[in-house]
Amino acid sequence: MASSWFESVAVAQRRARKRLPASVYGALMAGSERGQTREDNVAAFAELGFAPHVAGNPAQRDLATTVLGQAISMPVIISPTGVQAVHPDGEVAVARAAAARGTAMGLSSFGSKPVEDVVAANPQTLFQIYWSGSRDDILARLERARKAGAVGLILTTDWTFSHSRDWGSPHIPDHIDLRTMLLHAPEAIIRPRWLVRYARTGRPPDLTVPNMAPPGGPAPRFFGAYGAWMQTPPPSWEDVAWLREQWGGVFLLKGVSRIDDAKRAVDAGVTAISVSNHGGNNLDGTPATIRALPAVADAVGSQVEVLLDGGVRRGSDVVKALALGARAVMIGRAYLWGLAANGQSGVENVLDIFRNGIDSALLGLGRSSVHELSRDDVLIPPGFLRSLGG
Ligand SMILES: Cc1cc2nc3c(=O)[nH]c(=O)nc-3n(C[C@H](O)[C@H](O)[C@H](O)COP(=O)(O)O)c2cc1C
């Protein structure tokens, strides 16, 4: 039997493509409109170079750090995603893998597993919410996450409800019953491993969002919750400050690209921001996050922790992001592909790839700790950087 271990995130992606039904794989790839931002997120990392040393390099490298009040074994944490239908163990498997590798877990409020189960699998869980429903609805979600033991709150405000994709969005059913199973049978039947995983659980994939349930109520279906979110006016900066105050603890605003927004986030009292464009899933044409990071880090990096997510596929990408001002990165598709390829072990495998890649880049750069990285370690080609709203 072929080994289930894989050597790179690219191999995990190929396995995910082979194992998942086309519509599930398509939903993971996402990327809105022409997919320019999604592609730039990845391509921009490849434009950056390194200037390595060949002797006098450190024999041991320290990857451990702290971010968002958490001590973690390396500067890579799990970005929140809805992982419906990728794997029956979903976010619980991801949380266990992150715990096994000593790092933190971001759980989406649109995820497929209850926050209580995810925190039980990884006590270093941060809960992510969207601005959906009334303030009371939002408070109820927040209080549930607090009660469950979430160690921080992530507010994601960059979603633009852009539903047009040049490559054609996959069809995602509202729920999966016998009729939809039969409808999707041709694509599922040619993906037997995926089918077998669900067959073993005795249930079809669950397309509900348990963390959006009203107190004591049943978990709504994904599209029902999505519709309610679409009806909610977007939050103001006062709303952000209000929510931060209600939470009272570690608070990350995810989705910042502009310097002026970063400053307003600081004024709203956040403890951290993530330079993020939702993996290129919303306003297409937004530049790669790594291009926008240095200007944002220069503006607010001394006041709040600055994270980055988008296009991170290898340890050397993490090192580039740290050298350009990030405290840590969050990964999205990389761990989803690992989950699809090999469940919890696949996510651990992805995290090990990141760890080895970071260590190897530190060795080459002659740095003994992730805290020693600086802009001098990276070659930035002319015209690479973008300064938004400065
Ligand atoms: C399938 C998918 C679902 C996502 N769902 C969420 C979500 O529910 N909440 C959120 O804040 N971000 C969500 N994101 C964005 C990720 O948290 C992250 O910003 C993005 O994936 C980073 O880019 P990368 O995939 O290139 O690493 C999602 C991304 C993908 C690919």
Atom of ligand 1 nearest to the CA of 80: 17
Residue 278 is among the residues annotated as catalytic for this protein: yes
Going through 161-304 in order, the beta strands assigned E by DSSP cover: 251-256, 272-275
Atom of ligand 1 nearest to the CA of 27: 1
CA-nearest residue, atom 13 of ligand 1:
81
DSSP string for residues in 28-45: HH---BT-HHHHHHHHHH
DSSP string for residues in 108-140: ETTSSS-HHHHHHH-SSEEEEE---S-HHHHHH
pLDDT higher than threshold 90 for residue 277: yes
**Where is 179: in which H helix or E strand?**
helix 178-183
d(CA 326, CA 11): 27
pLDDT at 305: 98
pLDDT at 264: 98
Instruction: State the pTM of this model.
Output: 0.95
d(CA 136, CA 276): 27
Q: Regarding beta strands 378-379 and 49-50, do their DSSP bridges make them parallel or antiparallel, or are they unpaired?
A: antiparallel
Q: What pLDDT digit, counting tens, does each position of 150-191 carry? A: 999 999 999 999 888 888 877 766 666 555 655 666 666 667
In angstroms, the Cα distances linking 320 to 44, 135, 291, 358 are 11, 39, 11, 10
**Tokens found for residue 148:** 């469950």
pLDDT at 197: 82
CA-nearest residue, atom 4 of ligand 1:
81
**Residue 129 or residue 203, greater confidence:** 129
Instruction: Tell me the β-bridge partners of 305.
Output: 272
The residue written with tokens 């240095």 in the block is 294
Ligand 1 centroid from CA 324, angstroms: 22
Neighbours of 149 (CB within 10 A): 14
Ligand 1 centroid from CA 319, angstroms: 21
Question: Which residues line the pocket of ligand 1, CB cutoff 6 A?
Answer: 27-28, 30, 41, 79-82, 108, 110, 128, 156, 254, 276, 278-279, 281, 309-312, 331-334
**Where is 184: in which H helix or E strand?**
none
Q: What pLDDT digit, counting tens, does each position of 362-374 carry? A: 999 999 999 999 9
Share of the chain above pLDDT 70, in %: 94
> Residue 17: exposed, middle, or buried by beta-carbon count in 10 A (0-12, 13-18, 19+)?
middle
CA-nearest residue, atom 2 of ligand 1:
81
d(CA 303, CA 269): 10
CA-nearest residue, atom 19 of ligand 1:
278
The per-residue pLDDT of the chain, averaged, comes to 93
Q: Phi/psi of residue 269, each to 5°?
A: 90, 15
Ligand 1 centroid from CA 275, angstroms: 13
What distance lies between CA 94 and its chain's CA centroid? 11
Least confident of 103-112, 195-204, 232-241, 268-277: 195-204
pLDDT at 174: 64
CA-nearest residue, atom 15 of ligand 1:
278
pLDDT at 203: 72
Q: Are 207 and 173 spatial neighbours (Cβ–Cβ below 8 Å)?
A: yes
Ligand 1 centroid from CA 55, angstroms: 40
Q: Are 81 and 332 spatial neighbours (Cβ–Cβ below 8 Å)?
A: yes
The residue to mutate among 278, 286, 289, 350, having the most atoms of ligand 1 within 8 angstroms of its beta carbon, is 278
**Where is 198: in which H helix or E strand?**
helix 192-201
Per the residue annotation, which of 171, 184, 278, 371 is the catalytic one? 278
**Residue 126 or residue 178, greater confidence:** 126
Q: Cα dihedral sign for 130, 133, 139, 140? A: negative
Q: What pLDDT digit, counting tens, does each position of 82-106 carry? A: 866 899 999 999 999 999 999 999 9
Ligand 1 centroid from CA 178, angstroms: 29
What distance lies between CA 123 and its chain's CA centroid? 18
pLDDT higher than threshold 90 for residue 338: yes
Give the mean model confidence (pLDDT) for residues 331-344: 97
Q: What pLDDT digit, counting tens, does each position of 228-271 carry? A: 999 999 999 999 999 999 999 999 999 999 999 999 999 999 99
Least confident of 186-190, 192-196, 199-203, 370-374: 186-190
**Where is 74: in which H helix or E strand?**
none
Q: What pLDDT digit, counting tens, does each position of 298-322 carry? A: 999 999 999 999 999 999 999 999 9
Closest-CA residue to 127 (of 232, 137, 144): 144
Closest-CA residue to 112 (of 137, 91, 86, 87): 91
What distance lies between CA 99 and its chain's CA centroid? 16
Q: What pLDDT digit, counting tens, does each position of 140-151 carry? A: 999 999 999 999
CA-nearest residue, atom 8 of ligand 1:
81
The residue to mutate among 281, 307, 331, 354, having the most atoms of ligand 1 within 8 angstroms of its beta carbon, is 281
Our CA dihedral for 81, 84, 87, 90, rounded to 10 degrees, sits at 50
pLDDT at 181: 56
pLDDT higher than threshold 60 for residue 194: yes
Closest-CA residue to 149 (of 178, 182, 126, 180): 126
The residue written with tokens 């939702």 in the block is 278
The residue written with tokens 């009806």 in the block is 231
pLDDT at 176: 61
